[in-house]
Amino acid sequence: MNYTNLGRTGLKVSRLCLGTMNFGPETSEADSHAIMDRALETGVNFFDTANRYGRTISNGFTEEIIGRWLAQGDGRRDKIVLATKLFGAMGDGVNERGLSAYHIRKACEDSLRRLQTDHIDLYQMHHVERSTPWEEIWQAMEQLVREGKIIYVGSSNFAGLHIALAQFSAAKRNFLGLVSEQSLYNLNARMIELELIPACREFGLGLIPWSPLGGGLLGGVLQKAAQGRRASEGLQARVEKLRPQLEAYEALCQELGEAPADVGLAWLLHNPVVTAPIIGPRTMQQFNDSLRAVEIKLSDDVLAKLDKIWPGPGGAAPEAYAW
């Protein structure tokens, strides 16, 4: 496994991040524990979750699965960089959601209890909340840092503007501020190249792409269909809309002798702003298959062909749309 710094920090994380959203609803607890064991064996030390993952069973259920895995001991807590998120509703109360100092404190305490740990390495805001001032947010986060309950703060689903506002506010307080941004990014979803990626680069945030394979779209969906494996109706509709691009993409991957999923992940890893794409395996086989991506080096010619198949917004703003 290869490692890199998380944004501008000195923290080293694996180039693949283990996403746990499927743990509980799609993957049994026993299989989830086995995947986490395998992650440690292969050097994947970056684990991502959220307090609302597993909510189809109960709020916090995925965190509880991870907590029971951590409770097995053997030093596993000290071997991983543990990230979780807060924002969404965790109950019916009017203050059981959002980014108020009230909810930040309670959400953190609840996650620590479910995860059976005394600290969270990367505490991420799952979404921006425009109605809460940054002074309040940073005051709450600073208090958690002082208490040793969190170490770093990250964002998720922010725009470039939100990152800039957050960092300017943090700088006034002599606080580190955001160190990472978790955002939708893949070959078929490149809008963040306009302003978010430039903001991450400017402010030293590591980019953690979620849905790096477009919900299965970039994972060899045509090949799987030919093998008789059906996709969901929603994915099928996207496949038909993008069929010419998918045919060209999968043909290029076949020419390279690499699986489409691995090429999609490798393309993300070629971006110097990207810290680690989030892989969200449902099975051990899916986890093992993802490991190949860190070994793939794509030539400039291949990168140009991928750009032609999956064109982005034209680069960074404003050059992408102005003279």
The catalytic residue positions are 53
Question: In 10 A of CB 285, how many CB atoms?
Answer: 9
**d(Cα 192, Cα 306) in Å, to the nearest integer?**
17
> Quick check: 302 and 252 in contact, CB under 8 A?
yes
Q: CA-based Rg of the chain, rounded to a whole angstrom?
A: 20
Residue 137 to residue 143: CA distance in whole angstroms: 10
Q: How many CB atoms lie within 10 A of CB 130?
A: 8
Ordered DSSP codes for 266-307: HHHHTSTTB--PEE--SSHHHHHHHGGGGG----HHHHHHHH
Nearest to 82 by CA among 22, 26, 11, 140: 11
Number of CB atoms found within 10 A of residue 296's CB? 17
